[in-house]
Amino acid sequence: MRMGKWALRQADPVSQRTTTQEILAEVKRLQPWFHCIDLGDSIKTKTVGEWGEPADHPLPTWKIISACLPADLTGKTVLDVGCNAGFYSVAAKRRNASRVLGVDAQRAQVRQARFVRRVLGLDIDYQRISVYDLDPRQLGQFDITLALGLIYHCKHLVLALEKLFHITKTLLILETAVLPQKGNQIVHNLGPETVLHSLACVENAPSAKEQVYNWFIPSVGAIVALLRNVGFQDIELFSEDGGRAVLMCRKPSASENSRDLSNLGASLRFEDARTQCAPGEELIFHIRVENTGAARWLSHVDLPPAAPGVVRLGCHLLGPDQDELFWDYGGADLPHQIAPGNSAILAFHVRAPEAKGSYWLEFEMVAEHLSWFEDLGSPSLKSILHVE
Ligand SMILES: C[S@@+](CC[C@H](N)C(=O)[O-])C[C@H]1O[C@@H](n2cnc3c(N)ncnc32)[C@H](O)[C@@H]1O
């Protein structure tokens, strides 16, 4: 396997002092390069544009992106999606970001990025992950996400934007090719309230042998509308020039967290549970509820009464065959809000049915007026109850 020699050198600390010759050989072996990165000793990853991009790509774009990013990223986490050889990840690390993760769908790009990291001696994590597989429960959320030159490669454009929304804590910086604004007015008969924006579909030639295809090129209006639709609140068109645009997209404030449905997750466990009781007996179940999602659970103390998003523990009463008898069979409030990774033990008070027989009690969390957690993918917790 071609990685063998390099991997061997990595395992041997004595030979880790890579010579200029070795670096040049590796640059050549990992060709072609899209990013021009200065590796020191007058070595650059490339000196000519391979696909019509400038020979020093992405330096000209970095001059714009650089102005969107805080000059000092100390204490901030940065995710670079579609990182390629890692030019922007390196730039973020050099601005002192506490954690930088670069992800790319293509193995060859991750290989290049890891090589650059090794030569420059930077603490950056690179993983081969597609934008569609970004999961805040596994990776955490990032203060700043970069999606530069990415979205026109996305066949599932809206899904990609949703994933970018959920993995971002505060700010998404998105750079893309855009359609020209002029002559973009679409005439329609859908009523005065409806605005249609242009979104071009790229028809790739059957003979095209691209590594990653282009799918959609949005107008600025379309991408702003889509970003707003997936949840971003404050979207600023930072620059538009030469058919490319940079947008800064901010998320709603943290107080909205338990309304961020796809970041809600729970794990429930009995601390104690009764399985036998008398008809109508008052029972108490102690249940440990753990926030396994990336969103903070807001409690009844944090939001006004009846506001959507208050998280509680709910219960359903089921028959012996687990058919539903009562959907809302009581509830227990959180004592306070619960941050991701934290848990609390709740005392759930419930009255046993008056009729003798076997029942199931099914417990699950609910974000009031929004969703039960099981519908969002978190398993419920069931206990048999024999009323004798
Ligand atoms: C045009 S390059 C842009 C690279 C870099 N962000 C820049 O602006 O210079 C697009 C990059 O996105 C990556 N990519 C394409 N589809 C992707 C996906 N579904 N998930 C993650 N990365 C993807 C490609 O492998 C490629 O490295």
Q: Which amino acid is at 366?
A: V
Centre of ligand 1 to C-alpha 144, Å, is 17
Which of 38, 95, 55, 94 minimizes the C-alpha distance to 71?
A: 95
> 302 in ligand 1 pocket by Cβ < 6 Å?
no
Residue 10, pLDDT > 50, answer no
> 299 in ligand 1 pocket by Cβ < 6 Å?
no
The string of pLDDT tens digits covering residues 90-110 is: 999 999 999 999 999 999 999
* Mean pLDDT score, 171-197: 86
Token output for 373: 């957690």
**Residue 2 banded pLDDT, cuts 50, 70, 90:** very low
**Lowest-confidence segment of 102-116, 150-164, 200-214 by average pLDDT:** 200-214
**Residue 211 banded pLDDT, cuts 50, 70, 90:** low
> 145 in ligand 1 pocket by Cβ < 6 Å?
no
The alpha carbon of 191 is separated from its chain's Cα centroid by a whole number of angstroms, namely 35
CA distance 315 to 326: 9
Answer yes or no: are the C-beta atoms of 128 and 41 closer than 8 Å: no
> 212 in ligand 1 pocket by Cβ < 6 Å?
yes
- The residue nearest atom 1 of ligand 1, judged by CA position, is 149
pLDDT at 183 (0 to 100): 61
**Residue 9 banded pLDDT, cuts 50, 70, 90:** very low
145, 149, 155, 156: CA torsion to nearest 10: 20
* Mean pLDDT score, 80-97: 98
**Residue 208: how many other CB atoms lie within 10 Å:** 10
Residue 168, pLDDT > 70, answer yes
* Mean pLDDT score, 327-354: 94
CATH architecture assignment, domain 259-387? Sandwich (2.60)
Distances (CA, A) of 138 to 83, 111, 263, 293, 297: 19, 22, 11, 9, 18
Distances (CA, A) of 315 to 300, 380, 383: 17, 9, 11
- Domain layout of the chain by residue ranges: 31-252, 259-387
| Longest Cα separation, the chain | 84
pLDDT at 210 (0 to 100): 65
Centre of ligand 1 to C-alpha 208, Å, is 18
**Residue 140 banded pLDDT, cuts 50, 70, 90:** confident
pLDDT at 335 (0 to 100): 93
Centre of ligand 1 to C-alpha 183, Å, is 30
For CA atoms 323, 325, 330, 333, give the dihedral sign.
Answer: positive
Token output for 18: 């890579």
CA distance 185 to 195: 9
Q: Which amino acid is at 74?
A: T
pLDDT at 147 (0 to 100): 98
Centre of ligand 1 to C-alpha 69, Å, is 20
> 64 in ligand 1 pocket by Cβ < 6 Å?
no
Residue 388, pLDDT > 90, answer yes
213, 214, 215, 221: CA torsion to nearest 10: 160
* DSSP for 295-310, written as a single string: SPBB-TTTS-TT-TTB
Indicate the burial class of 123 (C-beta count within 10 angstroms; 0-12, 13-18, 19 or more): exposed
**Residue 206 banded pLDDT, cuts 50, 70, 90:** confident
Average pLDDT, the chain: 89
Instruction: Judge: domain 31-252, CATH 3.40.50.150.
Output: yes
Centre of ligand 1 to C-alpha 131, Å, is 9
Residue 141, pLDDT > 50, answer yes
Residue 333, pLDDT > 50, answer yes
Reduced to 3 states (helix: H, G, I; strand: E, B; else coil), residue 262 is helix
Residue 122's contacts (CB-CB under 8 Å, 6 or more residues apart) are 90, 93, 94
